[in-house]
Structure 1
Amino acid sequence: MAAEFEQLVTEFERFQSGIRNVDERFAGLGAMRQQLSELRAGASSPDGGVTVVTGPGGAVLDVKFTDAALAKGPQALSAALMATLREAVGEAARRQAVLVQEHLGDDHGLVDQVLETQAEAFGTTVEEMRSKLAEETPARERPAAPDDFSEERVLRPSDDAAPPPAPPSTGGSAGDTFLKNLFDEED
């Protein structure tokens, strides 16, 4: 009876740990939403005459022209504006993909999909797009405090987290079997 009780306590503690883990990961959704709402990306034309700032989803937030850009005429201004818009929107999409991937994990290769799509659209290589991404995205440090979960992934544990140890199997009662089936992560 004592062994069965110990096993039930172990299962219950494992369940509580799983609940805390989910709570912690979902708490990160607010941080991700905040980071996405604050996302800004910018690009300037090679001559600096056109500057575009974009936000989440590639929304255009600001467009600036220099007097020299305006003096080049409508065709040149239009071409410079469109090229600069593409760059700024592309950068916003790359940054947004990185933020989402940081929080949700890399199960679907989101950043790689964005880079492949942009490479095809811009007529360049994935490696060139990846180098742009590396230039645009500053390296983030992991939090030093173990209680700070703001940089943790949201929908699945981080890769370096070990799964909880399985409780020892002792044959068990119907209650034990019920708990094992209830909390079996493979279902």
Structure 2
Amino acid sequence: MSAHMDELIAQFSKFQSKIREAEARFEGVGDMQQQIAELRHSATSPDGTVTVVAGAGGSVTDLTLSPSAMRLDHSQLASVILSTLRQAVAGAVQQQAGIVDETFGDTFGLNTSERVREAQAEAFGTAEQDAPEQTPQPSSRPSRSRDDDFFDDGPILRR
């Protein structure tokens, strides 16, 4: 009976250890949500006539036109606004992906920033290095010992 009890105690201890590990991984969620809520990315047109500020999820939070913007004809102004808006939104989305990668990239093997850059390069018709404002890639995952109960051997999200 003692050997069986020792086995049960060892399994329970292992289970508690896994719970503590999971709690540690997810304790950064609140900070991540706060960073995303406060996220702002500003872009200004090359001629300085339009400035757009975008927030989380690419939401536009501000649009400023300089007095010289009124000298542009309506189609030029629309084009400058749209171009600057795309830059601001792209930058905000890249920042958001970087925040997610900082919080969960190593844990779940995510590289959200890379996927965002690839999607933006495709959408903008540019090479990845030409896509607006690159964000740093997350560090590589630390090696872990092989354990049948360890479920972090790869990404859990669909590609």
Normalization by structure 2: what TM-score? 0.78
Q: How far did residue 2 of structure 1 move?
A: 5.1
User: Which residue number corresponds to residue 184 of structure 1?
Assistant: 149
Residue type at the aligned position of 1:111: S
The 5 Å alignment of 1:61-72 reads 61-72=61-72
Aligned equivalent of 2:119, options 117, 124, 138 = 117
- 2:14 and 2:91 map into 1 onto residues whose CA distance is 42
* d(CA) in 2 for partners of 1:65, 1:126: 30
Q: What SS is found at the alignment partner of 1:46?
A: coil
- Number of matched pairs: 149
Matches within 5 A, 1:142-181: 159-160=141-142, 162-163=144-145
Is structure 2 residue 38 aligned with structure 1 residue 73?
no
Is the counterpart of residue 132 in structure 1 residue 150 in structure 2? no
- 2:88 counterpart SS class: helix
* TM-score, scaled relative to structure 1: 0.68
Indicate conservation of the 8 Å contact 2:42/2:53, yes or no. Answer: yes
More displaced 10-residue stretch of structure 1: 24-33 or 34-43: 24-33
**Residue 50 (structure 1) shift:** 0.6
Q: In structure 1, what is the Cα distance between the partners aligned to 2:144 and 2:104?
A: 18
What is aligned with 1:173? none
Q: Highest Rg: 1 or 2? A: 1
- 2:99 equivalent to 1:99: yes
Q: Runs of 5+ in structure 2 lacking a partner?
A: 152-159
Among all aligned residue pairs of Structure 1 and Structure 2, give the percentage whose two residues are the same amino acid.
Answer: 38
In structure 2, give the amino acid aligned to 1:92: A
CA distance in 2, matches of 1:21, 1:73: 60
Structure 1 alignment gaps of length 5 or more = 143-157, 167-182
* Higher RCO, Cα 8 Å, sep 6+: 1
Q: Give, in angstroms, the shift of residue 5 of structure 1.
A: 4.3
State the 1:7 CA deviation. 3.9
Q: Distance in 2 between matches of 1:44 and 1:24?
A: 40
